[in-house]
Structure 1
Amino acid sequence: MTDIFSRIAHSRTADEVVQQIESLVLEGVLRVADRLPAERELARQFDVSRPILREALKTLEARGLIVTRHGGGTYVADVIGQVFTQPMLELIGSHREAGADYLEYRREIEGIAAEYAARRATEDDRALLAQIMARMQAAHERGDFEEEAEIDVEFHHAIGECAHNIILLHTLRSLYRLLSDGVFQNRLLVFSLPGAREELLAQHKAIHAAVVGGRPAVARKAAMDHITYVEHSMAEAERTGDWQRVSRLRLRQRTEDGARRSGQEK
């Protein structure tokens, strides 16, 4: 991890260290499962004694913001947590209308995020988005569906970060948790539709261009149009999957019937 921690210039107390790490978590700079530097290095970056640092880390762990693994380092805790209980997750995953509601909500939230990002993105934000888009393009050219889908989620994460709104950021992260937890298993089905990968890439490029170009209204529309396309494509992919399933069963039934008739005729 690069030096994201600032030297404590004045009192050099544990409270100062706690406040700085809390801010980095709240602002989304430190993310779930990020590993903190080793104690010696962290004390050096903060310019505090190791006893002061240990006191600060103990306080942060008591507040549930970090976890220490014996012999394995210190990590940012799962501050997003489980958005829904396991029974509710199972209900969401098994009922089609929940998926539609999820995408409807995402369409509005991501439209706002893209609009804010177009207004507020810094040069560093734009550099990060450019890196993500380059990786997305490379995965697309390799035909790596799974990696392209993962970078897709990363791209939307980054747009949320560029919006520079803490509540919006963590709301979006909780939404994407449903994807990373596999609640909507059929999201990869979209990539199997003819022309879908090319269309999705073009849509991400449109969102990216509007954000870096500082066009809030265009960015919002591009983000919302993207989710609408995903919604329609998922429905089409599900229908196509159902058709294929039925066709496969029909073929199997006809083949078995033909074999039985052939045996009876003999």
Structure 2
Amino acid sequence: MFRQISKENAFDEILNQIIENIRAGRLKKGDALPAERAMAEAMGVSRPVIREVLRSLSLLGIIKTVHGGANYISEDLENCMIGPLSILLQLNNSSVQQNQQLRSALEIQCAKLAARNCSPIDAAELKLILAKLEVEQDEQIRGDLDRDLHIKIGKMANNPMLFNVMSAASQLTENIITGIRAYIMQKQMSVTEIDEQHKRLVDAIIAHDEESAVRYMQEHMINIEKYIEERAEMMQENQ
């Protein structure tokens, strides 16, 4: 699984070999990595160098370290980059509006791909989330269901890169504007605009109507952006 490497670029070569083994399927989700000593001997490097690489992979969420020092490939590789990407977007010092523009572009593309890929099981899960939204009164729970709906659509796109960046942008918005989803749900309790947008969007996705799915998600994102700007202004006034 591992081969001797050049000590000049030890960190990069160790990292590349681990990633290569994951991509080739020799290391699968949940698999235990060999012990640090065994990896060090196989690659001809010291254990501290191996440990440094493993620590970096752990910070990225690619591996999980359990009590006793054993290292395992993450069971959630598809989502492991959401946290680091959210931090990188935050360090970029972009505005809430710029971040929402990025999210909108990605959500629209995800809606298009979700309509292309929608299976009967996907359709049933989307309908279930909508049904829960229709009867739920608690704004916080409605906000969580709204998140679930967008996550489901993002995963249906079947593009991990799109999903990770979209989720990171969404997470950053929620970190900057605390309670934004609950606020949106509170605003729409007297009017069903967002609920109707969700329904039209889901119907288009289930019907494999990519053009309509794009149009309805675009309308939805414009509406969300309006609420985000409104909430951001309120927060600034209260500071």
The runs of 5 or more residues in structure 2 that have no matched partner are 1-20, 40-52
Cα distance, 1:191 vs structure 2: 2.8
| Deviation readout 1:51-95 (Å, 9 max, x if unpaired) | xx5457989x94542313329x97647721322548945955xxx
> Which of 71, 83, 86 is the matching residue for 2:85?
83
Aligned length in residues? 191
TM-score normalized by the length of structure 1: 0.58
Relative to structure 1, the CA distance from residue 100 to residue 76 in structure 2 (aligned partners, 3 Å threshold; closer, same or farther) is same
- Corresponding position of 2:121: 124
SS at 1:67's partner residue?
strand
Partner of 1:107: 104
* Counterpart residue number, 1:148: 142
Which of 196, 199, 202 in structure 1 is aligned with 2:193?
199
Task: Summarize the Cα distance change of 1:156–1:194 in structure 2 as closer, same or farther, 3 Å threshold.
Answer: closer
- Report the TM-score, using the length of structure 2 for normalisation: 0.64
Corresponding residue of 2:4: none
Task: Give the RMSD, CA atoms, in angstroms.
Answer: 3.7
Preserved contact between residue 99 and residue 173 of structure 2 (Cα < 8 Å)? no
Deviation at 1:198, TM superposition (A): 2.1
- In structure 2, C-alpha distance between the alignment counterparts of 1:216 and 1:87, rounded to whole Å: 29
1:234-249 matches, within 5 Å, as 234-237=228-231
Matches within 5 A, 1:58-77: 62=54, 63-64=57-58, 65-70=62-67, 76=75
- Contact 1:161–1:169 (CA<8 Å) still a contact in 2? yes
Pick from 201, 205, 214 the counterpart of residue 208 of structure 2: 214
Q: Distance in 2 between matches of 1:223 and 1:119?
A: 14
Offset of 1:102 from its aligned partner? 1.8
Check the 8 A contact 1:191/1:197 in 2, yes or no.
no
CA separation in 2, counterparts of 1:123 and 1:163? Answer: 15
- Which secondary structure state, in structure 2, belongs to the residue aligned with residue 82 of structure 1? helix
